Structure 1
Amino acid sequence: MATNTPSEGKFTIAIEKQTSKIPSGVYLTAALASMAASLTLKCFGQRHTALFVGQWAAPFLIMGLYNKIVKTEGHD
């Protein structure tokens, strides 16, 4: 019995091929760097900028998780 599962688009496959080349540590380093930059900005009194930069950590970690999944599971 054949299942009709949707396949990934060409654009998605191209993105996954490129992102899988990036080491996972890059995303963790970027997240930690954004937290450190946020702390530094906060210490210099740049409250709003510190909050803005500090919010980058979560997207970097999510991208790292996506990267790890693509490397282990691949596409389709």
Structure 2
Amino acid sequence: METDVNPASRLSERDYQDAPPVVRGEHAEASFTRLIEQQTAKVPSHVFLVASLAAMGVSFALEVSGRSRPSRFIGQWVSPLLVMGVYNKLVKIFGQR
């Protein structure tokens, strides 16, 4: 008795060739993008983490002191700072292509 329940499983064992990459002019990066990546790669990665932790701390201090509107405003900076840190790390790892 066969334990395999998918009748098409043998078909999925075939080797497939990878499709060639699509290279088009409209997919090329502009010089402005390269400039941003070059400048971003110069900033140490921990700067964005420290900035986001500082924004969390300031937001918490403002919330505790009763200033909820500025607290929420500064608290919204945390996510973009962390995303910028991830982008910075990706630029450093993969570089320009």
Equivalent pairs counted in the alignment come to: 76
Q: Show the counterpart of 1:12.
A: 33
Q: CA offset at residue 3 of structure 1?
A: 4.1
CA pair 63-2 structure 1, distance change in 2 beyond 3 A:
closer
Which one scores higher on RCO, CA 8 angstroms, separation ≥ 6?
A: 1
RMSD: 1.5
Letter in 1 for 2:47: V
Runs of 4+ in 1 over 6 A off after TM superposition: none
How does 1:18-29 map onto structure 2 within 5 Å?
18-29=39-50
Residue deviations 1:1-22, cap 9 Å, x none? 7842422110000000000000
Which amino acid is 1:55 matched to?
Q
TM-score by length of 1: 0.92
State which of 24, 34, 54 in structure 2 corresponds to 1:33: 54
Give unpaired runs (5+ residues) of structure 1.
none
Work out the percentage of aligned pairs sharing the same amino acid: 43
- Choose the corresponding residue for 1:63, options 73, 84, 93: 84
For structure 2, list consecutive stretches of 5 or more residues without a partner in the other structure: 1-19
Deviations 1:35-74 (A, max 9, x none): 0000010111100110110110000000000000000001
Relative to the length of structure 2, the TM-score reads: 0.73
**Does the residue aligned with 2:66 lie in a helix, a strand or coil?**
coil
Name the amino acid aligned to 2:67: Q
Partner of 2:11: none
- Structure number with the higher helix fraction is 1
